[in-house]
Amino acid sequence: FKCENLQKVGAFKARGAHNAVLCLDEAQRARGVATHSSGNHAAALALAASHFGVPAYIVMPDNAPATKVAAVRAYGGDITFCEPTQAARESTLEALCARTGASFIPPYDHPDVIAGQGTTALELAGQLDPPPDCLLTPVGGGGLLAGCAVASKALLPHTQVIGAEPAGADDALRSFNSGQWQPQLAPATVADGLRTALGQLNFALIRAHVDDILSADDTAIIHATRLVWTRMKLVIEPSAAVGLAVVLSHPRRFAGKRVAIVFSGGNVDLDQLPW
């Protein structure tokens, strides 16, 4: 298990955000960075910006969880609230970037962000000997899966890369099987971090480098989450448990294989747990 729940900000998102800020030139950094997010990317970008001593402008919906807002503020992010719609997020961010000159760092569909997420597999390649037969990562927007797939095919050529997705938010699975990007249709899953639509850039990389995408239903996801909490004594969020849920849901597929699973994060809202 690759425990990104123990990563900075409690999620793999710290990798992509740091790499994206690192890739900016000095003039761009001086003007700051900006994004719209109500989740882990907001905190990750605020932390990355603080490491480089640059401003971070974060657009958040006015119904964002208080814990997420507190995390962004703790890392020094400058929050602008907006109505909880995609249109409001985008228009508020556009106005903010125009006013400040800040560089927009999207949460997943960006080359530097994808490359940063791929360092997860880069580390795994140096940590596991012999290499795993399979590497599973959750897939929502697709940045983690795309980045890990690109890195794995270069460093772990004999390792199958498999995306793990909730059955109630399976746009990546449908896109992968059809060969064409498919929209996210009314996602309904306990894995709230994976309700995001698959990014177009990520889909192109996934088509080229991923071996398969499998899904698990919410019953399996909840079971896997509880199993990790009780047996491993690790706090992971339901989105992070999808890889394990997929393995447990497809026992014949993985029987006798060395399997690496990425636990993508551990930011759990205890008031929203389904048990």
The whole-angstrom separation of Cα 102 and Cα 31 is: 5
DSSP assignment, residue 197? P
**Cβ-contact 236, 203 below 8 angstroms:** no
User: Is 91 marked active-site?
Assistant: no
Catalytic (active site) residue 264: yes
Question: What's the CA gap between 210 and 144, in Å, rounded?
Answer: 12
Beta-carbon contacts of 79 under 8 Å, excluding residues fewer than 6 positions away, are: 58, 59, 60, 69, 72, 73
How many C-beta neighbours within 10 Å does residue 82 have?
20
Q: Which of 38, 175, 239, 264 is catalytic?
A: 264
Whether the CB-CB separation of 263 and 4 falls below 8 Å is answered with: yes
The CA distance from 149 to 151, in Å, is 5
Q: Which of 13, 37, 68, 249 is catalytic?
A: 13
Q: Is the CB of residue 265 less than 8 Å from the CB of residue 13?
A: yes
| Number of H-type helices and E-type strands within the chain | 13, 9
Q: Which residues are catalytic?
A: 13, 264
